[in-house]
Amino acid sequence: MGKYVELTVSNFDEVTKEGVSLVDFWAPWCGPCRMIAPVIEELAGEFEGKANICKVNTDEEQDIAVKYGIRSIPTILFFKNGEVVEQMVGAASKQAFADKLNALL
Amino acid sequence: MLDCAIIGGGPAGLTAGLYTTRGGLDNVTMFEKGMPGGQITMSSEIENYPGATAHNLSGMDFMSPWPEQCQRFGLKHEMSEVTRVSRREDGIFMIQKSDGTSDEAKSVIVCTGSAPKRAGFIGEDTFFGRGVSTCATCDGFFYKNKEVAVVGGGDTALEEALYLAKICSKVYLIHRRDTFRSAPNTIARVKGTANIELVLNAIPEEVFGGAMGVDGLRVKLEDGSVRQIDVPGVFVFVGNNVNNQVLIQEDGTFLCDMTQWGEVKVDLSMKTSVSGLFAAGDMRESAPKQVVCAAGDGAVAALQAIGYVDGHQ
């Protein structure tokens, strides 16, 4: 079972620069973030080898949050070869995230 | 086939799950697209649930033990989004899911709750997630030591304004009337908070900003003048819309009788106009929209569902 990648300033660019990546910006105090946490974990398993499923803890990685203009969590950014191509704000279903990923793959 | 399908995993759905399984139904699934907990997990504080006396108890902490307790008697949680509940001629319900699959159920308890309403000012949708927010506990952190605006005058608006006032340098509380619809002690706390400025008889007209998000808000005052408030964050708490989408049938009609506001009509036992279909929590008519009431509804609906399933064996 694949696991999501915890992104920090030191590995963010390296992980997202190639292929399709889903990046979930979250924080421990955020109810809707917690709601989608198991969804992100399942996606990590289902998209193993196909897309990078990642999380950024905005409490610890404020520089990344500022860089991408994150003002609401959860915000889910979709990257293709290092470029942001899609954005979703708020909790959504696994199907909704999977549809976005599949459209980019 | 499921004895009972529970649609939604907030306080009503979880309690319905606890009561149906503990009450003897063997095959009960609660459908919730992610971790259960519901809308209360966005609240900064809950102080009106009897017995939950911890100081500054957040909605998220309050709900955290519920899923484990409610699943103790065999309730299953399926992490998928239900798109439609319909009923066949033989009385069996069909639960259609967003992945294209479906389940059959003898009875259904719908408790899909409600979602924060938008206020309807210009720029609100454009800047949603980029300065406009409906969750202070989620997003207040991004405005630490900055000024923000709160729009609304009910309990939620006032409670969240108090929460934001602890994080932000200043909170403008913008309300279209000059009186609040909230608990007296909450109103007193708001009025006694030095860094909350009340902007009353004021209607938000437009939120404006640039590529990085919101820069401010323009509100129309009683005398017709417009005041510009320069803030990077605008929190909107103007009530809720009922989540009734799952009850909409292929032909556009609702599965059961609804009120003109889109709430499900129920009787005192949470029965809808359709036999075997129950509704509980924020989505039913005249709902007080309180956790304790939603939980109560869930229990009532569950007891009825047990009786219905037993009677149709």
Each residue of B147-171: pLDDT tens digit?
999 999 999 999 999 999 999 999 9
| Residues B30, B77: Cα–Cα separation, whole Å | 5
For A23, B86, B282, the CA distances from B298, given in Å and listed in that order, are 36, 20, 11
Closest CA to B60 of B35, B78, B81: B35
Helix (H) and strand (E) counts for chain B?
7, 17
**Structure tokens of B135?**
């969750």
- Asked if B42's CB is within 8 angstroms of A32's CB, the reply is yes
Confidence tier at A68 by pLDDT (50, 70, 90) = very high
Give per-residue burial for A72-88: e unless 16+ CB within 10 Å, then b.
bbbbbbbbbeeeeeeeb
The CATH H-level (homologous superfamily) assignment of domain A5-104 is Glutaredoxin (3.40.30.10)
State the pLDDT at residue A2. Answer: 74
**Chain B: nearest CA to A11, how far in angstroms?**
23
Task: Cite the active site residues of B.
Answer: 135, 138-139
Q: Does B123 touch chain A (CB under 8 A)?
A: no
* Percent of residues, chain B, with pLDDT higher than 90: 97
Domain borders along chain A are 5-104
| Residues B134, B127: Cα–Cα separation, whole Å | 12
Residue A89 has pLDDT above 90, yes or no: yes
Q: Which amino acid is at B85?
A: V
**Structure tokens of B265?**
């009509």
Question: What average pLDDT does this structure show over B31-48?
Answer: 94
The question of ipTM being above 0.85 is answered as yes
- Tell if the pTM clears 0.90, that is, is over it: yes
Residue carrying the six token digits 């065999």: B74
- Residues from chain B contacting residue A94 (CB–CB below 8 Å): 33, 79-81
State the pLDDT at residue B68. Answer: 94
Q: In the annotation, is A54 catalytic?
A: no
Run of H or E residues at B301: helix B291-311
State the pLDDT at residue A1. Answer: 61
State the pLDDT at residue B218. Answer: 98
Q: Does B68 touch chain A (CB under 8 A)?
A: no
Residue pLDDT, tens place only, B86-115:
999 999 999 999 999 999 999 999 999 999
Residue B313 has pLDDT above 80, yes or no: no
Confidence tier at B312 by pLDDT (50, 70, 90) = confident
Burial class (CB in 10 A: 0-12, 13-18, 19+), B30: buried
Chain B interface, mutation test: which of A56, A71, A75, most B Cβ atoms within 10 Å? A71
- Residues from chain B contacting residue A93 (CB–CB below 8 Å): 33-34, 80-81, 98
- Residues from chain B contacting residue A72 (CB–CB below 8 Å): 128-130, 133, 135, 138-139, 142
**Structure tokens of B218?**
């323009």
**Structure tokens of B37?**
């907990």
Average pLDDT, chain B: 96
Question: What average pLDDT does this structure show over B285-305?
Answer: 97
Question: What average pLDDT does this structure show over A39-57?
Answer: 97
**Chain B: nearest CA to A74, how far in angstroms?**
8
State the pLDDT at residue B277. Answer: 98
Closest CA to B81 of B96, B65, B60, B68: B96
Residue pLDDT, tens place only, B46-79:
989 999 999 989 999 999 999 999 989 999 999 9
What sign results for the dihedral spanned by CA atoms B149, B155, B158, B164? negative
Residue A67 has pLDDT above 70, yes or no: yes
Q: Does B243 touch chain A (CB under 8 A)?
A: no
Residue A14 has pLDDT above 80, yes or no: yes
- Nearest-by-Cβ selection for A31 from B37, B128, B213: B37
